[in-house]
Chain A
Amino acid sequence: MIDIIGLSFGYKEQMVLNDISFEAKPGEITAIIGANGIGKSTLLKNVCGLLEGDGTIKICGKPLREYRPSELSSQVSYLSQDTVSHALLTVFEIVLLGRIERLSQRISDEDIQAVDAVLHRLGIESFAFRYIGELSGGQRQLVFIAQALIRNPQVLVMDEPTSNLDLNYQFQIMELIKKLTVTEGLTTLITLHQLELAARFAEKIIVLDGGRVYGSGTPSEVLTRAMLREVYRMDVEIVNSAGAIHIVPICRHVS
C-alpha cells in the first residue's frame, strides 16, 4: 500500500510536483501517465526515497522518513528506466545483487537456490551466465525484474518498463507484472507512455499535468477525449472493442 499526501517537489527553484495525493493498493497496478518531462519519474523517485520532497508518503502505513535505507530498499523494489549497462556482470551476478544485504564473500547454497527459483519463474535461466551487455532490451528488463523480485518486495515501482521494447516484449513484460502483482499481492506503481497498455493492465490510472494530479480513476473513467486533448494536446477517437480501449489519433490539437 502506498499513500501519498500533499507531495511537492522541485529541483532548485523549479517546482515539478505540486500537492500530489493518491493511493495505490496491494494486488493492483497503478499507472501514472502524462506528457514527457511532467514529473512522472520524479514522483517515482520520491516514492522510493531517492528524492525527498515536502508532504507525506506512507509505505505499508509507515511514513517513508521513518524507514532505514536498507529496510526501505527491502520493502520497495525500484526499476529505473535505464537498463543499458556496460558492466561486465553476468545475469546470475546481477540477480544475486538483489540479496546484497545477505551476501558474503562465499555464495551460499541458499543464495544460489533463490537466484535459480527467480530465473526459472521468469524463464531466463538459460542465459544465467551471459553478460548483461550481450542481451536484448527485453531480456535486460527481465533480468532487472528478477533482481527486484528476489528481494521479495511489498511494493514494485517501475519507470517505463516497456520503453524501447517491441510489441511482443511489451505484452510479455506487462503480463508478467500483472501476474506477479496479483499472485504476490504487490502494490505496483508504474509509469507508462503506451496508454493502451495502461488501459489494459492497470486497475487505476493517475494523470499528471502541470505538476498536479489532473485526474485519477479506472481506465475508462480517465482515458477520455477531453483528457487527451488537454494533457496530450491530441484529438483522438476512443474505441471500446472486445473489452479493450483503443486510442486512435486523429490530429495534433494546436491551441
Chain B
Amino acid sequence: MIKTNTLAKDYQERSRKRLTKLTVGLLICSVGLIADILIGPSWLTIQETFTALFKPEEVETAVRVIVWTFRFPATLMALGVGAALGIAGAVMQTILDNPLASPYTLGISAGAGFGAALAIVFGSMVTTAFGPYLVPTCAFLFAMLTSFVIYLLGKLKGLSPATMVLSGIGLSFLFQALQSLLQYISTPEVLQNIVFWLFGSLTKSNWFTVTLIYIVLLVVIPAIMADSWRLTALKLGDEKARGLGINVERLRVKMFILVSILTSAAVAFVGIIGFIGLVGPHVARMLVGEDQRFFVPLSAVFGAALLSFASIGSKVVSPGAILPIGIVTALIGVPFYFSLILRGKRGWL
C-alpha cells in the first residue's frame, strides 16, 4: 500500500506539472489576447482601448468601431484559428503516425487556396447569394474536397497512413499548380486579390466568422477528447490498438472528418497559414508527451498563442500597417522551429 501511494503520488505530481504547463500556455494566450487588442495601426492609447472595451458608450464612435469591429474580432480569430490548426495538426500527426502531417503539408490549405482563387476569378461573373462569403465558402468546400480525396485514395489501400500522407502531398502540388494557372490567366487586379488571400489575413474577420469558428471548435473539441484514450492507444500502432479492442478504421475516419471540418473552417476565413499545425503539436509533444488528454489541448493552446503573437508581430514590424499574417507566422515560426529541432533530445523532438 505504501508503494501504491508512491506511484499515485508520482502520477499526481506529473499530472500537476502538466496542468501547470497548460495553465502557463493559457496565460501566454491571455497576454497575447490583451496585447493584440492594444496594438494596431491606428495608435489608440491603452486607456482608450480599455474604455472602448469595457465602457463603449464613453468613447467616440471611431474608437468604438476600431476596437469592436476591427481589433477584437481579429484578436479572437487569431486565437480560434491558431487553436483549430494546432488541434488539426496534433490529431493528423496521431492518426497518420507522421510528425510531418499538418493541414499545410497534406494539401488541405492548398485545396482551400485553389477554391478561394476560383471564387475570386469567377465570382464576379456569377450572381450569388453568398455575397462576401463566396470566397470562404469556396475555400471551405475545396478544403473538404481535398480531405475527401485523401480519404478515398487512402481507402483504396485500407486507410494506410502512408498512402494518405503521400496522397495529401500529391494533392498539394496539384492544387498549387491549378492555383498558379488561375493566377496566370487573371487580370492584375484579380491577381492582387488572389495573392492577398493566399498570404493569409486576420483583418477580414467579423463577429459572424468569429462565431462560426468558435462554434466549430465547441463541437469538434469534445468529440475528439471523448476518444483521447483511443487516440493514445493508436500511438502504439494499429495492431496493438486493435488488440485492445479498438476499431482502428472507424476511429481514423471519424478523426479525419473532424479535423477536416476544423481545418477547412480555419483556412476558409483567414487564408493560408502554414506552420501552426506543425509547430503547435511539436511544442506540446516536447512538454507533455503523447498522452492525448494533454497533448491535444496543449497543441491548441500553443497554436493559439503562436498565431496571436504572429498577429502582434504583423502590426509591430511595420508601424501604421499590418503585414499579412501568413508571412509573419513563417518569419517568427521558422527560427523558433529550428531551435526546437536542435534542442530536441528524442529523435524528432
Contact = CB atoms under 8 A, between A and B. Distances in A.
Contacts of A101: 245
B232 A89 contact: yes
The number of chain A residues touching the other chain, given as a range, is 35 or more
Given A73-B244, A116-B4, A97 B232 contact: yes
Interface stretch (B6-14, B77-85, B300-308): B6-14
Q: Which of B15, B232, B240, B247 has the most CB of A within 10 A?
A: B240
Given A88-B289, A89-B289, A101-B245, 18 more contacts: A50-B239, A50-B243, A69-B245, A74-B245, A82-B239, A85-B236, A88-B346, A90-B291, A97-B236, A100-B230, A100-B245, A107-B15, A113-B4, A113-B8, A120-B3, A125-B7, A128-B10, A131-B346
A49 to B, nearest CB: 9
B4 A100 contact: no
B51 to A, nearest CB: 41
Contact of A89 (B8, B236, B244): B236
Given A69-B247, A74-B245, A125-B3, A88 B10 contact: no
Interface string B105-123: 0000000000000000000
A96 B56 CA distance: 52
B243 A73 contact: yes
A78 B242 CA distance: 9
Interface in B217-250: 225, 228-230, 232-233, 235-237, 239-240, 242-247
Interface of A: 48, 50, 69-70, 72-74, 77-80, 82, 85-90, 92-94, 97-98, 100-101, 103, 105, 107, 109, 112-113, 115-117, 119-120, 125, 128-129, 131, 133, 144
Contacts of B239: 50, 80, 82
Nearest to A81: B239
A109 B285 CA distance: 26
Contacts of B237: 80, 82, 85
Interface string B285-318: 1000111010000000000000000000000000
Contacts of A125: 3, 7
Q: Which of B14, B239, B245, B347 has the most CB of A within 10 A?
A: B245
Contacts of B7: 92, 112, 115-116, 119, 125, 128
A122 B138 CA distance: 57
Nearest to A144: B240
Interface residues of B, number: 32
Given A89-B290, A105-B293, A48 B235 contact: no
Interface string B16-58: 0000000000000000000000000000000000000000000
A119 B4 CA distance: 10
Contacts of A79: 243
B3 A97 contact: no
Contacts of A90: 289, 291
Given A89-B235, A131-B289, A131-B346, A80 B229 contact: no
B4 A87 contact: no
Contacts of B235: 85, 87-89
The 3 closest A-B pairs by CB, nearest first: A73-B245, A87-B235, A88-B289
B54 to A, nearest CB: 35
Contact of B347 (A86, A100, A144): A86
16 contacts: A48-B243, A69-B247, A73-B243, A73-B245, A79-B243, A89-B235, A89-B236, A90-B289, A92-B11, A93-B232, A97-B244, A100-B245, A107-B11, A112-B11, A116-B3, A128-B7
A94 B236 contact: yes
Given A78-B243, A82-B237, A100-B244, A93 B8 contact: no
B66 to A, nearest CB: 41
B99 to A, nearest CB: 9
A86 B289 CA distance: 11
Nearest to A115: B7
